[in-house]
Amino acid sequence: MQKADGTMVSVEEAEKIILQQLKDYGSELIPFEQALGRVLAEDIKADRDLPPCNRVTMDGIGIRYAAFENGLRSFKVKAIIAAGDKAIDTELEDECVEIMTGASLPDSVDTIIRYEDLDIKNGIAIVTIENIKEGQNIHKKGKDKKQDDIVASANQFIDATIISMAASVGKKMLQVKKLPKVAIISTGDELVAVNEQPTPYQVRSSNNYTIKAALQQYAVQCDMLHIPDEPEITREKIKYCIEQYDVLLLSGGVSMGKFDYVPQVLEELKVMQLFHKVKQRPGKPFWFGAHSNGALVFAFPGNPVSTFLCLHRYFIPWLETSIQIPNPKSQIPKYAILENDVTFTAPMQYFMQVKICSNELGQLVAKPMEGNGSGDFANLLDSNAFMELPAEQSNFKKGEVYRVWPFKQII
Ligand code: AMP
Ligand code: MG
């Protein structure tokens, strides 16, 4: 569904065109300590039984249950065994070992009685309770997993529990899904660096940090660069990025302004335009295309709310689907109930900023937080989602349900 003729596409068409450009970047082997937030590309198996021995779960003594059942309540302490020690066996019925949590149980005993239920004096342990169970306080060898069992299966986000399991089974290197190499490119002569003091007609560049922060959640590596509104430099720098990166995320320079050189330069560099302009507000001038070397270019309009919306509505779903995150958050539609009547007459999809809360019936209710247009990025701090109001409608009534795109934790 190529739209090379410059006509505007609908939000649904734009989404479809982007999702036709999914990429598989393969996989790579990395140290497990660096794998947090990556997607596991192999099954992790137990290198031995878990636990690897009959593991004691309480500090106390180990006895043979049969001795207790035969009426013995007093046991001579044959040895003291700490966690990490090789097990020492008892030889006689009335012997016990003092043994600590985490230690390996000797074969000659089968039941642990905790210190709280004992009196130990002069090397003799006297059991002070009558009710014990055979085999108590022992975590049996192989009870959790057997050697070669899968302990973490491929295609899931690596979190702290998987890092912990990799450490436990000695899996120092993990095969993970490779991520695209991303260039984040800001454009515009009005932009200054964060550490500079802008004049009243300049702004500090923030879109590049917004994008970088969003990518960090997926552990995507990115480089940032800036391009002034100058066609030669724009051409030179974008050409370099197309050769060096898998994905270019630009902000600014794609509208109708005299100094918006990005679409023209992309065309000169043979990046095939797949659409330019989407029937949406904010973010209408969004440009998307692909180069024959595989590089994809998402060129967002520069207004911070436009960049933010396009990033969440289009780029994140593309990324999550490309790196095959299971049940990607962005692909599971979410809906909320509109709290007030809203009117929006332009024939385009309106992504209204809302604050979603849960009501007393357990429903998600969206309060409009319209702000002052796509330049009002301060408003993003007070809202937590965009509500997608369909282009075909102008009046949206309180109580109606629409799709939402949360960009923060809702509850
Ligand atoms: P443009 O899409 O290039 O016309 O940019 C529209 C407006 O977005 C500019 O006037 C800037 O105020 C703002 N803008 C563009 N790029 C950035 C950026 N990297 N960070 C913050 N604001 C930006
Ligand atoms: Mg600009």
* H or E segment and range at residue 124: strand 124-127
Residue 335 backbone class (left: φ over 0; alpha: ψ -120 to 50; beta: rest): beta
The SS3 of residue 32 is helix
Ligand 1 centroid–CA 245 distance in Å is 23
The ligand 1 atom at the shortest distance from the C-alpha of residue 208 is 19
Do you know the residue count of the chain?
A: 411
Tell me which H or E stretch contains 80: strand 74-81
Residue 137, phi-psi category: left (phi > 0), alpha (psi -120 to 50), beta (remainder)? left
User: Which atom of ligand 1 is nearest to 257's Cα?
Assistant: 4
Query: What is the full per-residue pLDDT of the chain (411 aa) written as tens digits?
Result: 445 555 799 999 999 999 999 999 999 999 999 999 999 999 999 999 999 999 999 999 999 999 999 999 999 999 999 999 999 999 999 999 999 999 999 999 999 999 999 999 999 999 999 999 999 999 999 999 999 999 999 999 999 999 999 999 999 999 999 999 999 999 999 999 999 999 999 999 999 999 999 999 899 999 999 999 999 999 999 999 999 999 999 999 999 999 999 999 999 999 999 999 999 999 999 999 999 999 999 999 999 999 999 999 999 999 999 998 877 878 889 999 999 999 999 999 999 999 999 999 999 999 999 888 777 889 999 999 999 999 999 999 999 999 999 999 886
369 CA to centre of ligand 2 in angstroms: 26
Checking DSSP bridges between strand 349-358 and strand 385-389, what pairing results, if any?
antiparallel
| CA separation for the pair 50, 145 (Å, rounded) | 5
Token pair for 160: 């702290």
The residue to which tokens 């003799």 are assigned: 124
Probe ligand 1: pick from 251, 261, 306, max atoms within 8 Å of CB? 251
Q: Which of 184, 210, 303 to mutate to test the pocket of ligand 1 (most atoms within 8 A of CB)?
A: 303
- Tell which phi-psi region holds residue 191, choosing left (phi > 0), alpha (psi between -120 and 50) or beta: beta
> Both tokens of residue 250?
């630009």
Query: The tokens of 71 are what?
Result: 């009426």
- In the structure, which protein residues have their CB atom closer than 6 angstroms to any atom of ligand 1? 186, 188, 190-191, 203, 205-208, 251-253, 255, 257, 301-304
Nearest listed ligand to the Cα of residue 193: 1
**Domains (range + CATH), the chain:** 11-25+179-322 (3.40.980.10), 28-47+150-177 (3.90.105.10), 55-139 (2.170.190.11), 334-406 (2.40.340.10)
Whole-model pTM: value is 0.86
CA 321 → CA 177, 270, 315, distances in Å? Answer: 12, 26, 10
Q: How far apart are CA 60 and CA 49, in angstroms?
A: 24
Neighbours of 395 (CB within 10 A): 11
Given the CA of residue 186, which atom of ligand 1 is nearest to it?
19
Q: How many CA atoms lie within 13 A of 384 on its CB side?
A: 13
Residue nearest to atom 3 of ligand 1 (CA): 252
For residue 371, the model assigns a pLDDT of 82
